[in-house]
Amino acid sequence: MLTALEGSTCSGISTRIDDADNIDDEFEKYWQEQEVLALAKLCEEEHLDQEQFKALIEAYIFSGLDPLRDDVLRCLGNRPSILKAREIGERIIAKMKEYVHVFEKGMVA
């Protein structure tokens, strides 16, 4: 019997895998759960509408073009002042790129 991440837990989760053939499937399931949790956390931290932001991420992945700052700011519940908009927009775009790098491009191997 194999234990995923034997001897350690990730986010308090300990998963047992009974069949070595299931390791890829179990990891894929785990990674998808982590992707959903990371998106929810990012949206919560930045006060983003999750559905709108997910659509923006998908458009970024499809086109390969950076989103417009205004498009990012539309995902916010309350639009920031003009003085803060640039800083907030750039911060969110950077976090979005990191998310895509980890969960989309990072798994292509």
Domain carrying residue 86? 2-105
Question: What's the CA gap between 33 and 28, in Å, rounded?
Answer: 9
Rounded distance between C-alpha atoms, residue 60 and residue 67, angstroms? 6
For the chain, the domain total comes to 1
Residues across the chain: 109
> Does the structure show a pLDDT above 80 at 6?
no
User: How many CB atoms neighbour CB 94 within 10 A?
Assistant: 10
pLDDT-derived band of residue 26, with 50, 70 and 90 as boundaries? Answer: confident
- pTM equals 0.75
Query: What's the pLDDT tens digit per position in 93-109?
Result: 999 999 999 998 766 55
**Who wins on pLDDT, 10 or 2?**
10
Cβ proximity of 90 and 107 under 8 Å: no
Q: How confident is the model at residue 88 (pLDDT cuts 50, 70, 90)?
A: very high
Is pLDDT at 48 greater than 90 in this prediction?
A: yes
* pLDDT score recorded for residue 14: 56
In three-state form (DSSP H/G/I as H, E/B as E, the rest C), the secondary structure along 15-76 is CEECCHHHHHHHHHHHHHHHHHHHHHHHHHHHCECHHHHHHHHHHHHHHCCCCCHHHHHCCE
pLDDT, mean of residues 4-20: 53
What pLDDT is attached to residue 27?
86
